[in-house]
C-alpha cells in the first residue's frame, strides 16, 4: 500500500493554527516549550479538558510525564502584546531546557499546580494529566482543567501571522534544531517495527 504523502500533508496541515506555550514544573525546575498540537478534549462545559502532544525528544515531555501537570497558554496578536508573544515563542521554542533555564527569562506567577503562568500570554488553562497515550515518538496528554484565566484580552496569535515576523536567524536555528528531533522521532517510530 502506498500513501500519497502530499495529499496527507494537505489534509492534516494547518488543522491547529494556534501556537501554544506549554509550561510545567518538575522537582523544582520549571520549563516549557512551544506546541502546535493543542486542543480541547471534553464535551462537558463544567468539566473542561485540554490535550497536547509532545515528542519524547523534548525535555518538557519527560517533565510532564513525571509531574502530571501542564499549563497551556495562548499568545496575543494585539499590537501592544505582539513583541512579548514573539519573545515567548522564540524563548520556549528556540532551545531546550537541557541547555539552560528558559522560564527565568519570562515574567511569571505560580499557578495552583506549582507550574509557572506566563503573565505576558493572552490566556491559559492549567491542567492535571488524567490520561496519556504513548505513541512511540511522542505522547498525547489529556488533562483536567484546574484553573483558567484571560490575562490580556483581544485576538489570539496564529502561527501564519507569527512566522513572517520572526527574525531570519531564529528561524534558521529553529530549522537546524528540528533536524535531530525528526531523526529521533523516526528512529523511535521505526525501531518498534524493525
Let me know if 166 is exposed, middle or buried by CB neighbors in 10 A (0-12, 13-18, 19+). Answer: middle
Q: Which lies closer to ligand FMN via its Cβ, residue 51 or residue 58? A: 58
Closest approach, Cβ 160 to ligand FMN, in A, equals 11
Whole-number Cα distances in Å, 91 to 43, 49, 192: 33, 26, 33
Whether the Cβ atoms of residue 71 and residue 146 lie closer than 8 Å to each other: no
Chain centroid to CA 144: how far?
A: 17
Chain centroid to CA 132: how far?
A: 16
By the criterion CB under 6 A, which residues form the site for ligand FMN?
19, 31, 33-37, 53-55, 58-60, 93, 95-98, 159, 174, 181
Q: Which lies closer to ligand FMN via its Cβ, residue 55 or residue 113? A: 55
Closest approach, Cβ 99 to ligand FMN, in A, equals 8
Q: Which lies closer to ligand FMN via its Cβ, residue 132 or residue 181? A: 181
Closest approach, Cβ 21 to ligand FMN, in A, equals 9
Task: Give the containing element (helix H, strand E) for 51.
Answer: strand 49-55
Question: How many CB atoms are located within 10 Å of the residue 111 CB?
Answer: 20
Distance (Å, rounded) from C-alpha 55 to C-alpha 184?
Answer: 9
Distance (Å, rounded) from C-alpha 94 to C-alpha 75?
Answer: 16
Q: Which lies closer to ligand FMN via its Cβ, residue 35 or residue 84? A: 35
Closest approach, Cβ 184 to ligand FMN, in A, equals 10
3-state secondary structure of 72: strand
Q: Which lies closer to ligand FMN via its Cβ, residue 36 or residue 119? A: 36
Q: Which lies closer to ligand FMN via its Cβ, residue 49 or residue 102? A: 102
Closest approach, Cβ 94 to ligand FMN, in A, equals 6
Residue sitting closest to ligand FMN (CB) = 93
Distance (Å, rounded) from C-alpha 84 to C-alpha 74?
Answer: 12
Closest approach, Cβ 33 to ligand FMN, in A, equals 3
Amino acid at each position: 500500500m502506498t500513501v500519497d504523502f502530499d495529499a496527507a500533508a494537505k489534509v492534516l496541515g494547518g488543522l491547529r493554527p494556534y501556537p501554544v506555550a506549554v509550561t510545567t514544573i518538575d522537582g523544582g525546575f520549571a520549563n516549557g516549550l512551544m506546541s502546535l498540537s493543542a486542543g480541547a478534549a471534553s464535551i462537558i462545559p463544567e468539566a473542561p479538558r485540554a490535550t497536547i502532544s509532545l515528542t519524547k525528544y523534548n525535555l518538557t515531555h519527560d517533565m510532564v510525564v513525571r509531574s502530571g501537570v501542564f499549563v497551556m497558554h495562548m499568545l496575543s496578536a494585539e499590537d501592544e502584546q505582539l513583541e512579548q508573544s514573539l519573545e515567548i515563542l522564540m524563548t520556549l521554542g528556540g532551545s531546550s531546557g537541557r541547555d539552560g533555564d528558559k522560564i527565568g527569562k519570562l515574567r511569571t506567577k505560580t499557578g495552583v499546580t506549582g507550574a509557572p503562568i506566563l503573565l505576558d500570554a493572552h490566556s491559559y488553562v492549567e491542567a492535571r494529566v488524567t490520561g496519556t497515550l504513548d505513541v512511540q515518538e511522542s505522547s498525547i496528554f489529556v488533562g483536567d482543567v484546574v484553573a483558567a484565566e484571560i490575562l490580556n484580552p483581544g485576538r489570539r496569535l496564529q502561527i501564519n501571522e507569527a512566522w513572517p515576523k520572526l527574525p531570519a536567524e531564529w528561524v534558521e536555528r529553529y530549522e537546524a534544531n528540528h533536524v535531530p528531533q525528526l531523526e529521533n522521532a523516526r528512529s523511535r517510530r521505526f525501531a518498534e517495527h524493525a
